[in-house]
Amino acid sequence: MFRSPFMRRLPALLLALAAAPVAAQTARPKLEVLIVVDQMRPDYFDRYGTEFTGGLARFLRSGVVFTNGFQDHALTETAPGHATLLSGRPPASTGIFANDPGVVDSASVLVPASATRGRMWPGSSPRRFRGTGLYDWLLARDSASRVLAVSRKDRSAILPVGRARGNVFWFAGGVFTTSSWYSDSVPSWLYAWNMRGGPAALTGKQWGLFRDPATYAEADSMSYENAEFGERDFTFPHMLPADTGRMLLKLRDYPWMDSLIFDVALEGVRGTGVGRREGTDLLVVSLSTTDAIGHDYGPDSRELHDQLLRLDHWLGWFLDSLAVLVPREGTVFALTSDHGVQPFPERTGTGGRVSFKAMAQRTAQEYLARYDIPIGVTWDLGFITADLAALRARGVEVDSLSDALAREALTMPGVDRVFTPRTLARAPAGDETARLWRRTIPPQQDWLIAATSKPGWIWVDAPGWTEHGTTQRVDMHVPIIFMGTGLTPRRVTRKVTTEDIGPTFAALAGVRPTEPVSGRVLPEIAPPR
Ligand SMILES: [Zn+2]
């Protein structure tokens, strides 16, 4: 190990780094690390930054912090957000415009990941993702480049990598696994990790406060929180079920899920050797628990505050542990998010809840009754799609149907603007909302209406949880922070987007996107040579 080519070259590399001007990244990184905190809003750093002592603190204090970073599209959800991060392109170009259908793929079945849990889960793959991303660009120069991506969610592990095969793992049925898109088995290191039963050891565990209760300013007992499906669990401590099967289904809503992601990622760095070759490798760690807790308790809750303190702690441990495996000098990081989140309308007293569920379901039933065809009407937030070819085949005037749905939508409280395919095509170039929808909807995608909500209105038909997915600033505004050797801590206030991260990582690695991208190389991170 100590005789690896990298270690033998290390003294020379360190001398070269010491001699280099501090503002420029001189050596190509061995490992580019993307850390995604699902649903992380930048204002959490403002609120809790002084309390962070671990990994989030390190990004905040040692990183180049872009304070005006955005997911620059309309359906601010996990799948489209993650697909922008390393592709350099918006959802209209990646083809991943919403969570559904996203990565669902029954042809790519989940592989058996351990001998203990055989439950079948729907398969997942990047089959709908179009074009290339950072990992493809790295492979184009060096076919030996390696990738490791780990998340609780399938879409969050898959989409930053793109279509390429690689080490892409997510949590399903109590174990970490992959799908037949990538492999017909899990690697031995992951099999061994699963067999150790780490998740099951959390059965019955109690989630209490991480720090002294006096240091939490938020009220704990807010009865509008976490009331989905009739649950009434909104005060500390929260208890994981004493039954392991039920606990594994609830674990996603508890902070420890993120610690498992970090642990699998580190085990994977050991097992795959990413970052320990000549050349540049890619590591993606996407953490989903902030999203789950944010949905349940909201961005202003004591629970979210506690989750961020724990995430900060574990991220610090992860960064220290990673540095043992891959020298810090060879590593460059970006931390970002796939979207933000809205406060509970019940907390703010403004806005409310609005949903197209009833309208979409009624429309589907009407056409089934009238024409005996399932027209595949589905809705996701403010977006309604259908099988337009099936409608046209029965002589249905699709534009009239769109217009009728748009008129009905505009009668609902909280609905701000509604586009149909015709009105979006006619909208002027300076129309900001139209611009966001054009960046969201792939040209070949069938759709009926695309709506935006008024400030404070969320696309949720039931109480008890909150949501993201709108074009409001709290949903689009995300942290973008780079950290690594040669980067001097600073704040950058100009507007940037998550599409800039992939091309910037590419420039640091000395490769270029192999197709046109909308994202731009951030000169604060990768100055023109
Ligand atoms: Zn979410």
Q: Mind listing the pLDDT tens digit for each residue in 19-34? A: 344 444 458 999 999 9
pLDDT given at position 9: 41
The answer to whether residue 12 scores a pLDDT higher than 60 is: no
pLDDT at 15: 40
Amino acid identity of residue 322, one-letter, is L
Length of the chain counted residue by residue:
529
Q: Distance between the two ends of the chain, CA-based, in angstroms?
A: 34
Which helix (H) or strand (E) segment is 8 a member of?
A: helix 5-19
Tell me the CA–centroid distance for residue 157 and ligand 1, in Å. 15
- pLDDT, the chain, mean: 92
Assign 493 a pLDDT band (cuts: 50, 70, 90).
Answer: very high
Report the pLDDT value the prediction gives residue 477, as an integer from 0 to 100: 98
Reply yes or no on whether the pLDDT at 496 is more than 90.
Answer: yes
440 pLDDT above the threshold of 60:
yes
Q: Which residues surround ligand 1, an ion (CB under 5 A)?
A: 291
Using one digit for the tens of pLDDT, what is the confidence trace for 107-162?
Answer: 998 987 654 454 556 799 999 999 999 999 999 999 999 999 999 999 999 999 99
Structure-block tokens of residue 182: 């990538």
Q: Give me ligand 1 centre to Cα 291, in Å.
A: 5
Confidence category of residue 308, pLDDT binned at 50, 70, 90: very high
Two tokens, residue 297: 């308790």
Tell how far CA 137 is from the center of its chain. Answer: 21
Q: Is the pLDDT of residue 5 over 50?
A: no
Say how many Å lie between the CA of residue 450 and the centre of ligand 1: 20
Distance 292 CA to ligand 1 centre (A): 7
How much is the pLDDT for 121? 63
Distance from Cα 311 to the centre of ligand 1, integer Å: 17
Contacts of 461 by beta carbon, 8 Å cutoff, 6+ apart: 353, 355, 357, 358
pLDDT at 243 over 50: yes
Please determine, for residue 356, whether its predicted confidence score (pLDDT) is greater than 90: yes
C-alpha 295 – ligand 1 centre gap (Å): 6
Task: Work out the average pLDDT over 189-193.
Answer: 96
> What pLDDT score does 376 carry?
84
Cα of 199 to ligand 1 centre, how many Å? 22
Average pLDDT value for residue range 48-62: 98
2 residue type, one letter? F
Q: Is the pLDDT of residue 13 over 60?
A: no
Distance 74 CA to ligand 1 centre (A): 15
pLDDT exceeds 70 at position 389: yes
Output the CA 299–ligand 1 centroid distance in Å: 12
Q: Is the predicted pLDDT of residue 384 greater than 50, yes or no?
A: yes
Q: How far is the CA of 382 from the centre of ligand 1 (A)?
A: 15
The residue-averaged pLDDT of 441-470 equals 96
Mean pLDDT for 471-489 is 97
Res. 372: pLDDT tops 50: yes
Q: State in Å: Cα 174 to ligand 1 middle.
A: 20
Model confidence band, residue 459 (pLDDT cutoffs 50, 70, 90): very high
Distance 293 CA to ligand 1 centre (A): 9
For 10-107, strand residue ranges (E) read: 31-37, 64-70
Percent of the chain having pLDDT more than 70? 92
Angle, nearest 10°, between helix axes 256-272 and 289-297? 170
CA of 520 to the centre of ligand 1 (A): 27
Instruction: Extract the tokens encoding 425.
Output: 């095509």
Band (pLDDT 50/70/90 cuts) for residue 219 is confident
What separation in Å is there between the alpha carbon of 78 and the centre of ligand 1?
Answer: 6
Confidence band of 195 (pLDDT split at 50, 70, 90)? very high
Alpha helix positions (H), 145-288: 154-158, 188-195, 244-250, 256-272
Distance 30 CA to ligand 1 centre (A): 32
Q: What is the mean pLDDT of residues 406-430?
A: 98
Cα 39 to averaged position of ligand 1 atoms, centre (Å): 6
Question: For residue 479, what are the CA distances in angstroms to 35, 87, 514?
Answer: 11, 18, 27
Task: Using the mean position of ligand 1's atoms as its centre, give its distance from the Cα of residue 303 in Å.
Answer: 16
CA of residue 517 to ligand 1 center, whole Å:
26
Token pair recorded at residue 66: 């872009």
Span 79-104, average pLDDT: 97
State percent of the chain over pLDDT 90. 84
379 C-alpha to ligand 1 centroid (Å)? 16
Report the separation in Å between the CA atom of 99 and the middle of ligand 1, taken as the mean of its atom positions.
10
pLDDT of residue 99: 96
- Check pLDDT > 80 for residue 64: yes
Give pTM, 2 decimals: 0.93
pLDDT of residue 188: 96
